[in-house]
């Protein structure tokens, strides 16, 4: 039987995450990008991986970690989001019309620690629970907000990964244009592959820690990107090799921080 290298237990990581970006709600900080074309996975298959530490709890709704326009309708937006007045998070399709999958219980975000979240999607899968998978610190989420466990329809075409406006830290194209209040590090989008979290982190000493993505043979795909936030005056710089750089708004050099998942 061939070895599944994504399931292989990797050695403890010595990878040092040097920088993170501060998405400051009071300053209306966010990033935007419009891909030149649709992606390798035709918006059906992709993975988002990001380390996140919340700054504050906000009553404002639609605090997007990542969002993308589905079509021209104002609120038809796919997003990886944090719920209002809570640190529950998850995936909402078409502004809720296409269903949602919201993690709760032991899988909520916090302000006092870094957490790794992965949203891995392959809508071509015949089994619904295989179409959308959420992971929290390496563990498959199995506790969802009541009524929210909607894994999506087969062959659903997301706005994420398409040649439409995409946003980090902000809901794009919607009427609720609030921004998130959080630190983010190691923001990765893989276009065309539904990855396990072991592609981005490893369990070591009872903790889930980052590993170097440049050593994981990741094929990022047409619209894939890797933001390590290393350049303080160019936080949207993509280091994946694709040059899918992001336009930064209201994020000065002081928005690069050294509070990271490994510091």
As a whole number of angstroms, the distance between CA 79 and CA 20 comes to 21
State how far the Cα of 113 lies from the Cα of 127, in Å rounded to an integer: 34
Q: Residue 3 has what pLDDT?
A: 40
pLDDT of residue 20: 98
Kindly report the length of the chain. 263
Residue 9 belongs to some domain of the structure: no
Question: How many domains is the chain built from?
Answer: 1
Q: Is residue 2 part of a domain?
A: no
Residue 11 falls inside a structural domain: no
Q: Name the DSSP class of 238.
A: B
Domain around 68 = 20-257
**CATH number of residue 39's parent domain:** 2.60.120.200
Is residue 10 domain-resident? no
In this prediction the pTM is 0.93
Q: How much is the pLDDT for 175?
A: 66
Report CA torsion sign: 96, 142, 59, 62. Answer: negative
**What is the predicted pLDDT for the residue at 232?**
96
Please tell me the distance from the alpha carbon of residue 230 to that of residue 17, in angstroms, as a whole number: 10
Instruction: Say if 8 falls within a structural domain.
Output: no
Indicate whether 262 belongs to any domain. no
Query: Mean pLDDT by 10-residue block, N- to C-terminus, for the chain (263 residues)?
Result: 46 84 94 94 96 85 88 82 89 85 95 97 97 98 90 94 94 79 97 98 95 96 98 98 97 97 94
Quote the pLDDT of residue 97.
Answer: 79
213 located within any domain:
yes
pLDDT at 99: 86
Torsional sign, CA 141, 61, 171, 74:
positive
pLDDT value, residue 61: 64
């Amino acid at each position: 039987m061939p070895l599944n290298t994504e399931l292989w237990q990797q050695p403890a990581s010595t990878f040092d995450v040097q920088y993170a970006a501060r998405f400051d709600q009071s300053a209306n900080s966010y990033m935007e990008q419009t891909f030149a074309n649709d992606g390798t996975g035709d918006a059906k298959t992709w993975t988002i991986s990001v380390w996140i530490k919340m700054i504050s709890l906000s009553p404002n709704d639609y605090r997007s970690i990542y969002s993308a326009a589905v079509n021209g309708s104002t609120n038809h937006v796919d997003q990886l989001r944090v719920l209002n007045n809570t640190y529950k998070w998850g995936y909402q399709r078409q502004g809720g019309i296409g269903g949602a999958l919201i993690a709760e219980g032991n899988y909520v975000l916090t302000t006092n620690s870094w957490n790794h979240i992965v949203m891995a999607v392959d809508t071509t899968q015949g089994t619904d629970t295989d179409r959308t998978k959420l992971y929290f610190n390496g563990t498959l989420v199995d506790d969802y907000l009541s009524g929210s466990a909607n894994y999506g329809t087969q062959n659903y075409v997301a706005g994420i990964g398409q040649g439409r406006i995409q946003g980090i830290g902000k809901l794009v194209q919607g009427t609720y244009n609030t921004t998130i209040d959080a630190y983010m590090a190691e923001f990765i989008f893989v276009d065309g592959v539904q990855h396990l979290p072991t592609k981005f982190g490893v369990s070591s000493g009872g903790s889930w820690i980052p590993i170097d993505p440049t050593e994981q043979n990741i094929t990022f795909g047409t619209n894939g990107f890797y933001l390590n936030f290393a350049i303080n005056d160019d936080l949207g710089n993509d280091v994946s090799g694709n040059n899918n750089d992001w336009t930064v708004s209201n994020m000065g050099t002081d928005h690069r921080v050294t509070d990271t998942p490994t510091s």
